[in-house]
């Protein structure tokens, strides 16, 4: 019998049975973070009487209503956004592996139901229960307020992460009723979602809430509190609010806060080392073994930054001088050494994307892979299957992971016929990992674990294969990083992901 009415700890929910899969949408996992709860850690949801309709997605977190990356979200955003969605073969007692997805979007955009995040294929082909969720974004999720509002708001810079932890607690307590195993939970995410997972691996409050993790194209995990406070002060000055007028920030209309936030560089508001919820640099916590013995997949895409260059309307017109000027501005005192390395070839737009891809995503992901592999089983991948225009751009692996052949109204995410084999490979590797804590599946060549001594990497392409140390620019980035030659406080970077 296929049951779509499920009893949670807070009340009954009724979903739908679609294409052989049971789906529940818009289930509240926390109280609406509105009014006096703005900038506060999430509270448990209220219970309800009767059967709650779970056939419609909840509203997305506050964010720009229109974006080239997320499409048009007009009328679908709200501060009341803490909802999750579930796909399951059936609400029975089978105790299936659970996969919890944390979406990307630079910590300022996205939701758990953006077109590509459809758990049907995972549930149907993999006998897996899929959960997707919303969390607070931008200033609502990551505005560090301790310096102006006191201890009550000491964790406000990580509300978005605390939302994710609240969702994981809800899953741990309720997912058995939906056919899932609360003791076999994999968290996975991309970009800001991947950075979120890096932080969750390090955060004491997340310990025990999941069993394994997949990190797709992460950035630097967190910024320090001084940098976060500086951004907060700029924001309240822009809004005309004095430091002793915190109540005005609570009462400010949500759309005005979003509008003001848009004047800042992307990812200004992101996780903060607040010395409470993140007690120290998460990289240091990981080095000390915070994620010990947790199986992990880490990977990045060959041409990550091509997506961002394509979104810059002037990039196509850049000549060599403009490329060099941008790179010098970006890297400051590190640029002469980088220039010496890369000037052996022509420094053109392709080289620019190559440099920025490593800087923004590839090197951070590889570095965390190395750190994690010292105490946990880790598998590393490099996604190299090329889109005809943008190459293996940032997020282009998503439709392959989710086995989503096309996404309505977004031609960028469409699997070509020659990519169907790759989609099957990646999809089933992720399914195998959810079941076994190991991504090896019949559909792929044998994928050995990653160790620093040999650096085995699965290169996902039209003909996937294992290569050893395929990151051609790795050593120059290690050299730059070890010498700490980045001026980390320099402002106006093109991409602030790597800064402190």
Active centre residues (catalytic): 191, 304, 394
**Helix or strand holding residue 412 (H, E):** strand 410-414
What span, in angstroms and rounded, lies between the C-alpha atoms of 179 and 312? 45
Span between the terminal Cα atoms of the chain, in Å: 54
Strand pairing of 129-133 and 96-102?
Answer: parallel
CA–CA separation, 462 and 27 (whole Å):
39
Tracing tokens 């692996």 back to the chain, one arrives at 397
- Phi, psi for 142 (deg, rounded to 5): -145, 30
State the Cα–Cα distance between residues 466 and 445, nearest whole angstrom.
Answer: 8
Element (H, E) at 186: strand 180-190
Alpha-carbon span 159 to 255, nearest angstrom? 18
Helical ranges in 84-219 per DSSP H: 120-126, 138-142, 146-149, 159-174, 192-202
Q: Mark 360-397 as b/e (b = at least 16 C-beta within 10 Å).
A: bbbbbbbbbbbbbbebbbbbbbbbbbbbeebbbbbbbb
């Amino acid at each position: 019998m296929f049951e779509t009415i499920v009893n949670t700890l807070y009340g009954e929910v009724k979903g739908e049975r679609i294409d052989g899969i049971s789906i529940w949408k818009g289930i509240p996992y926390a109280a609406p973070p509105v009014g006096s709860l703005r900038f506060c850690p999430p509270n448990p949801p209220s219970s309800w009487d009767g059967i709650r309709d779970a056939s419609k997605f909840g509203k997305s977190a506050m964010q720009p209503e229109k974006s080239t990356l997320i499409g048009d979200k007009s009328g679908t955003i709200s501060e009341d956004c803490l909802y999750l969605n579930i796909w399951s073969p059936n609400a029975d007692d089978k105790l299936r592996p659970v996969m919890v997805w944390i979406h990307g979007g630079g910590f300022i955009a996205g939701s758990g139901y953006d077109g590509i995040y459809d758990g049907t294929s995972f549930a149907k082909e993999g006998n897996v229960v899929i959960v997707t969720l919303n969390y607070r974004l931008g200033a609502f999720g990551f505005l560090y307020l301790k310096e102006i509002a006191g201890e009550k708001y000491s964790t406000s810079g990580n509300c978005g992460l605390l939302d994710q932890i609240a969702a994981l607690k809800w899953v741990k307590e309720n997912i058995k009723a939906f056919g899932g195993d609360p003791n076999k939970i994999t968290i996975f995410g991309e970009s800001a979602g991947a950075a979120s997972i890096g932080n969750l691996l390090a955060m004491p409050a997340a310990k025990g809430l999941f069993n394994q993790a997949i990190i797709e194209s992460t950035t630097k995990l967190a910024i320090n509190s001084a940098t976060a406070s500086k951004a907060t002060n700029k924001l309240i000055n822009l809004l005309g609010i004095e430091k002793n007028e915190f109540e005005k920030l609570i009462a400010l209309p949500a759309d005005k806060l979003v509008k003001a936030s848009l004047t800042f560089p992307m990812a200004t508001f992101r996780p903060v080392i607040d010395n409470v919820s993140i007690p120290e640099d998460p990289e240091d916590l990981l080095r000390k073994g915070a994620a010990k013995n947790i199986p992990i997949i880490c990977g990045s895409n060959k041409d990550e930054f091509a997506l961002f260059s394509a979104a810059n309307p002037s990039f196509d017109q850049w000549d060599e001088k403009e490329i060099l000027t941008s790179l010098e501005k970006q890297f400051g005192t590190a640029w002469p050494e980088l220039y010496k390395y890369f000037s052996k070839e022509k420094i053109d737009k392709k080289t620019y994307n190559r440099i920025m891809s490593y800087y923004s995503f590839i090197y951070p992901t590889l570095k965390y892979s190395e750190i994690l592999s010292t105490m946990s089983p880790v598998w590393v991948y490099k996604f190299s299957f090329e889109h005809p225009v943008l190459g293996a751009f940032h997020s282009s692996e998503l439709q392959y992971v989710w086995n989503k052949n096309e996404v309505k109204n977004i031609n960028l995410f469409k699997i070509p016929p020659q990519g169907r084999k790759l989609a099957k490979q990646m999809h089933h590797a992720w399914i195998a990992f959810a079941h076994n804590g190991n991504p090896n599946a019949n559909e792929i060549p044998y994928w050995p674990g990653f160790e620093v001594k040999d650096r085995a990497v699965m290169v996902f392409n039209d003909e996937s294969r294992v290569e050893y140390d395929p990151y051609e620019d790795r050593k120059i980035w290690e050299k730059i990083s070890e010498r700490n030659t980045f001026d980390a406080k320099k402002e106006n970077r093109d991409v602030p992901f790597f800064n402190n």
